Amino acid sequence: MDRLLPTPEAHDLLDLTRELATRELAGKVDDYEARGEFPREVLRTIGRSGLLGLPYDESVGGAGQPYEIYLQVLEILAGTWLGIAEAVSVHTLSCFPVAAFGSERQRKALPEMLGGELLGAYCLSEPQGGSDAANLTTRAVPDGEDWLVNGTKAWITHGGSADFYNIFCRTGGPGAKGISCLLADANTPGLLPQARERLMGLRSSAPAQIVLDNARIPHDRIVGEEGQGFAIAMKALDAGRLGIAACAVGLAQAALSYAVSYAREREQFGQPIGRFQGVGFMLADMATQVSAARALLLSAARLKDAGRPFSTEAAKAKLFATDAAMRVTTDAVQVLGGYGYVADHPVERWFREAKVLQIVEGTNQIQRMVIARSLTG
Ligand SMILES: Cc1cc2nc3c(=O)[nH]c(=O)nc-3n(C[C@H](O)[C@H](O)[C@H](O)COP(=O)(O)OP(=O)(O)OC[C@H]3O[C@@H](n4cnc5c(N)ncnc54)[C@H](O)[C@@H]3O)c2cc1C
């Protein structure tokens, strides 16, 4: 496909990503997904290639790339291995609190974070509620030089593999204003990762609960001000949702390309099935969904790059792109007929993976709430 990119450097970066996806990811994805193993070493390789800190400032170890370019890198990775693209997206999100609100001391770790030596996790959801995050119950109380933290965080991507955890917890009264963000090292006493969840798809990047049992986090590991945690979490999610939308576009593009190739080759009634209007129109609708999703994604990203408000546009992009990925991967299975339903073809995996994108980083019902609120106040 023809991409309008702002610089020759951006072209080089996308070429590098394609090359890395072919060399490092394509041959490994099926094996890791089948075993449900987290590919920590692959992420290190991606970090060494400079792809883990793309949108962050060069002064702290990032690559200083526009968000628009970072998202297209994610799109390419997702088309080969969603688990890796999602891991890059969650890690990028996990670096945001320190990069944007961290103290001088906390920011010293940024080069290692953005280079991928230290992997991050973002701990907002809890077992009793993901959507209503402002009512979270994990509590931190001051105790000598530390915060003493108790509670359970649920669905934590990189849980058990991460080196640092952003723990959103209650340090004050009820509601959003009572929440703070604490930065915990993986070896924090009382921070206890549980067994990883058994997922429908995305098995290489399965999340785990994190139990905090009298976890001791030094007092100066608070990120930003006391009571600022929820605002930090939401700001991180605004940008993170664009990452999930980019993953969705990559998945949908991969499914479309695969279905088109198949429809050109597979013959029934003496001709390629793509020549039947019933199949050709399905492919046309899939292609239109992918292009529309990418256009919405890039338009939101360009607002962010220009320093303009982009939160509602990010919600629209996440909503549309992930619904499009679900539709397109479903239709790709249909185009392949019975072969679409067996694991010999990747459309079966993409179909299972698309579903999770409608749920993570705010379900699509929550995205509609955000968009509706922007319309009605
Ligand atoms: C693979 C995976 C990885 C994840 N990674 C992370 C992570 O790294 N960090 C993290 O913090 N969380 C993570 N999550 C959690 C994820 O963000 C939540 O699952 C999601 O926000 C939904 O929360 P919930 O599962 O508690 O569902 P609920 O909030 O219980 O929602 C259940 C249903 O009710 C609907 N609903 C809820 N409220 C409303 C409303 N007001 N109006 C209309 N409908 C509503 C929802 O849309 C959904 O359909 C992950 C989840 C998965 C599956």
Q: Which two tokens stand for residue 193?
A: 């990762």
CA of 192 to the centre of ligand 1 (A): 22
Active site residues: 361
The CATH number that applies at residue 170 is 2.40.110.10
Q: 15 in a domain, yes or no?
A: yes
- Does 118 contact ligand 1 (Cβ within 6 A)? no
Average pLDDT over residues 257-285: 98
CA of 361 to the centre of ligand 1 (A): 7
Residue carrying the six token digits 């998945």 = 251
Do residues 95 and 203 both lie within one domain?
no
The CATH number that applies at residue 39 is 1.10.540.10
Contacts of 261 (CB under 8 A, 6+ apart): none
Contacts of 273 (CB under 8 A, 6+ apart): 263, 266, 267, 279, 335
Residue nearest to atom 29 of ligand 1 (CA): 131
Which residue type occupies 349? R
For the CA of 125, the closest atom of ligand 1 is 11
| pLDDT value, residue 122 | 98
For the CA of 129, the closest atom of ligand 1 is 26
- Over the stretch 199-257, which tens digit does the pLDDT of each residue have? 999 999 999 999 999 999 999 999 999 999 999 999 999 999 999 999 999 999 999 99
Average pLDDT over residues 259-276: 98
Helix spans in the chain (H): 8-20, 29-35, 40-48, 67-80, 82-101, 104-107, 110-114, 229-265, 277-305, 311-335, 347-357, 364-376
What is the span of the domain harbouring residue 134? 120-228
| pLDDT value, residue 28 | 98
CB-based contact 204:83 (threshold 8 Å)? yes
Q: 2 in a domain, yes or no?
A: no
For 125-128, which contacts have Cβ atoms below 8 Å and span 24 or more sequence positions?
125/153, 125/154, 125/155, 125/156, 126/151, 126/152, 126/153, 126/154, 127/152, 127/154, 127/209
Do residues 23 and 71 both lie within one domain?
yes
- Is the pLDDT at 339 greater than 80? The verdict is yes
Do residues 146 and 283 both lie within one domain?
no
How many domains in the chain?
3
Lowest mean pLDDT, pick from 49-53, 101-105, 166-170: 49-53
Residue carrying the six token digits 């070493």 = 41
- Over the stretch 119-162, which tens digit does the pLDDT of each residue have? 999 999 999 999 999 999 999 999 999 999 999 999 999 999 99
CA separation for the pair 132, 157 (Å, rounded): 19
Do residues 254 and 306 both lie within one domain?
yes
- Does 356 contact ligand 1 (Cβ within 6 A)? yes
Do residues 265 and 211 both lie within one domain?
no
The CATH number that applies at residue 282 is 1.20.140.10
- Is the pLDDT at 1 greater than 80? The verdict is no
CB-based contact 83:352 (threshold 8 Å)? no
Do residues 180 and 292 both lie within one domain?
no
Residue nearest to atom 4 of ligand 1 (CA): 155
Q: 1 in a domain, yes or no?
A: no
- Does 136 contact ligand 1 (Cβ within 6 A)? no
Residue ending a domain, choose from 114, 134, 168: 114
- Is the pLDDT at 2 greater than 80? The verdict is yes
Share the mean pLDDT of the chain: 97
Residue ending a domain, choose from 165, 194, 228: 228
- Over the stretch 73-96, which tens digit does the pLDDT of each residue have? 999 999 999 999 999 999 999 999
CA of 198 to the centre of ligand 1 (A): 16
Pocket test of ligand 1: the residue of 38, 156, 359 to mutate, having most ligand atoms within 8 Å of its CB, is 359
For the CA of 369, the closest atom of ligand 1 is 42
Q: 80 in a domain, yes or no?
A: yes
Average pLDDT over residues 324-334: 98
- Does 155 contact ligand 1 (Cβ within 6 A)? yes
Do residues 243 and 211 both lie within one domain?
no
| pLDDT value, residue 46 | 94
Pocket test of ligand 1: the residue of 88, 95, 153, 155 to mutate, having most ligand atoms within 8 Å of its CB, is 155
Do residues 55 and 69 both lie within one domain?
yes
- Does 123 contact ligand 1 (Cβ within 6 A)? yes
CB-based contact 335:355 (threshold 8 Å)? no
CA separation for the pair 353, 364 (Å, rounded): 15
- Does 124 contact ligand 1 (Cβ within 6 A)? yes
CA separation for the pair 224, 179 (Å, rounded): 11
- Over the stretch 179-194, which tens digit does the pLDDT of each residue have? 999 999 999 999 999 9
Q: Which of 133, 77, 21 is nearest to 251 (CA)?
A: 77
| pLDDT value, residue 45 | 93
Residue nearest to atom 21 of ligand 1 (CA): 130
- Is the pLDDT at 164 greater than 90? The verdict is yes
pLDDT-derived band at 307 (thresholds 50, 70, 90) equals very high
Residue nearest to atom 18 of ligand 1 (CA): 130
- Over the stretch 22-64, which tens digit does the pLDDT of each residue have? 999 999 999 999 999 999 999 999 999 999 999 999 999 999 9
For the CA of 127, the closest atom of ligand 1 is 26
Q: DSSP code of 87?
A: H
Contacts of 279 (CB under 8 A, 6+ apart): 263, 273, 335
Do residues 169 and 193 both lie within one domain?
yes
- Residues present in the chain in total: 377
Do residues 142 and 107 both lie within one domain?
no
Do residues 240 and 323 both lie within one domain?
yes
Average pLDDT over residues 266-290: 98
